[in-house]
Amino acid sequence: MTLLFETPSRSIPITKQMVWDAYRKVKSNKGSAGVDEETLIDFDADLSKNLYKLWNRLSSGSYFPQPVKAVEIPLSTTTECSK
């Protein structure tokens, strides 16, 4: 029996360069602290160790990201419709 949403699993090697590029992108966007409240300043304090630990967990398949922070977006009482 074939499942409706079954997709083949493919392993993509995570390189150190991929992790470094992702870090630079977050840094350039001035990324905010996550649910663990660790800021980029805190992360940068021991950058090589933190990037290595992240790469090691990603490449071994043992990385499980924490949930993202919830941000409430207030709904306006009136909605505008474009014609």
List C-alpha distances in Å: 51 to 19, 36, 40, 58, 64: 7, 16, 12, 10, 15
Find the domain containing 31 and state its range: 16-60
Higher pLDDT, 61 or 24: 24
How much is the pLDDT for 17? 95
Q: Per-residue pLDDT tens for 21-31? A: 999 998 898 87
Is residue 34 in some structural domain? yes
Q: Is residue 70 part of a domain?
A: no
- With a CB cutoff of 8 Å and minimum separation 6, the contacts of 46 are none
For 26, how many CA atoms within 13 A lie in the half-sphere containing its CB?
A: 16
pLDDT value at residue 65: 79
Q: What's the pLDDT tens digit per position in 16-59?
A: 999 999 999 988 988 777 777 888 899 999 999 999 999 999 88
Number of domains, the chain: 1
Claim: this prediction has a pTM higher than 0.75: no
Number of CB atoms found within 10 A of residue 79's CB: 6
User: CB of 16 within 8 A of CB of 50?
Assistant: no
